[in-house]
Structure 1
Amino acid sequence: MEFHRGRLFDHVHLRVKDLEVSKKFYQAIMDVLGVPMGSVGPGTFYADELFVTPADPGAPSGRGVHLAFQAKDRETVHRVYEAALKAGGKDNGAPGERKYHPGYYAAFFFDPDGNNIEAVYHGPGKRSADSVVIVA
């Protein structure tokens, strides 16, 4: 497995209410993106820089995190969106062109904890197809 492929972030750590539900959700997305998932022990999973563990009991969940996965093309944006919804995600903006810059094509959805997740394609020649971006 390859880590730290020249991206800005060392890792992103999400704390989730139900690890198995979240694992199924993120596995569906990673399968489309071609990113392998693993585990460093019971109660964790990871996919490259994304590290997920259970939340502390009583801790508030999600809704404050926006995580954007970069897709290699528009078709991959659609496939990630469809996989996310089939795996328990909730729609937050169907695939389509956005006004952020010319060629910005994205889909938005909530993960099982309410985090705002995005699949984005920036257009030909814009950033690498395997980057991960997080915006708080």
Structure 2
Amino acid sequence: METQELYRGRLIDHLHLVVADLGAAKRFYGAVLDVLGVPLGGEAEDYFWADELFVSTADSAAATGKLTGRHHLAFQAANREMVEAFHKAGIAAGGSDNGAPGLRPYHPGYYAAFVLDPAGNNIEAVYHGEAERSADAVKISF
């Protein structure tokens, strides 16, 4: 399935991770994105993508022949249960625990979990709690 939608006005347009084991990455991201309600958008022999996340091998035409370093990437979750499902799915799909689901001190209501993906990237799912919503964005008061 190929999904193509253009989103304007985002801070990050896209993120490209270059990994040594594409199969392990696809199993991991397929599992955690599934529980977050984000489908894979497309794939080929040397890459796959979902929304604005692009993951490839080092020998892909999209890469420069080098693996990316360690990154921290946080996905938004719709609720605490989704954060917990993300953590469980990430570990079951080859990730390792880097912070069990729970409240964090970053701001009131910040509920998150952290999993290291098979390439060592720190992947987070975060639910920001109840917030005041406007038509354009979510506003959180600190």
Place the TM-score, normalised by the shorter chain, in its bin: 0.7 to 0.9
Extract unaligned runs of 5+ from structure 2. 60-64, 135-142
Does 2:44 match 1:38? no
RMSD: 2.3
Q: Distance in 1 between matches of 2:43 and 2:132?
A: 33
Is the contact between residue 18 and residue 66 of structure 2 (CA under 8 Å) also seen in structure 1? Answer: no
| Equivalence for 1:132 | none
Bigger RCO of structures 1 and 2 (CA < 8 A, at least 6 apart): 1
Gaps of 5+ in 1: 129-136
Q: Percent identity?
A: 61
- Report which of the two has the higher share of strand: 2
Does the CA contact (< 8 Å) of 1:35 and 1:47 recur in 2?
yes
Secondary structure in 1 matching 2:100: coil
Amino acid at match of 1:87: A
| Structure 2 counterpart SS, 1:94 | strand
Matched with 2:29 is 26
- C-alpha spacing 1:16/1:39, structure 2 compared with 1 (3 Å): same
Q: How do 1:91-102 residues align onto structure 2 when only pairs under 5 Å count?
A: 91-102=97-108
Q: SS of 1:93's equivalent? A: strand
* Matching residue of 1:109: 115
Paired residue total: 127
Q: Is the 8 A contact 1:4 1:48 kept in 2?
A: no
CA displacement, residues 64-120 of structure 1 (integer Å, 9 cap, x when unaligned): 200001100000000000000000000001000000000000001100000011010
Moved over 4 A (4+): 58-61
| Aligned mate of 1:15, from 14, 18, 21 | 18
TM-score by length of 2: 0.80
Task: Give, in whole Å, the separation in 2 of the partners of 1:5 and 1:76.
Answer: 26
Q: TM-score normalized by structure 1?
A: 0.84
